[in-house]
Amino acid sequence: MEKLTIQEEEAMLSIWQLNGGFIKEILDNIKGSTVPYTTLASTVKNLERKAYVKAVKYANAKRYEPLISEQEYKAKFMNGFVGDYFRNSYKEMVSFFVKEEKLSASELEEIMNMIKNGKS
């Protein structure tokens, strides 16, 4: 599975939210987007080439549907992120965010409760 660019991720987020759509629908769903239609169309073509979406033909238009779930993508690339930046240690990652004051004590407690209760 090939890593997505920022533009591709933005398009995929919209496609996942819509559970597929035509380019115009995807564009309308991207909040505050100033991306031209043709640029988004090229980006979605790249997503198709990378096997993230498939094109389903409707008359003379194509509707793009996700081939992988958002959860699958997050799992794959989060593991890579932790491996690349935190030596495969989620503990090190959490410690980093605590030190950088990006994670509060109450949030950490909430995470601990989620672990204890096996919930997300």
Q: Say whether domain 6-66 belongs to CATH 1.10.10.10.
A: yes
Q: Which helix (H) or strand (E) holds 56?
A: strand 53-58
40 within 8 A of 4, measured Cβ to Cβ:
no
Nearest Cα neighbor of 52 from 72, 36, 35 is: 72
Q: 26: exposed, middle or buried (C-beta count within 10 Å: 0-12, 13-18, 19+)?
A: buried
Domain 70-117, what architecture?
Orthogonal Bundle (1.10)
Q: Give tens-digit pLDDT for 52-81.
A: 999 999 999 999 999 999 999 988 888 888
Where are the domains positioned within the chain? 6-66, 70-117
Q: Do domains 6-66 and 70-117 have the same CATH topology?
A: no
* The token pair that represents 77 in the structure block: 């690339």
Which pLDDT tens digit goes with each residue over 1-49?
Answer: 788 999 999 999 999 999 999 999 999 999 887 899 999 999 999 999 9
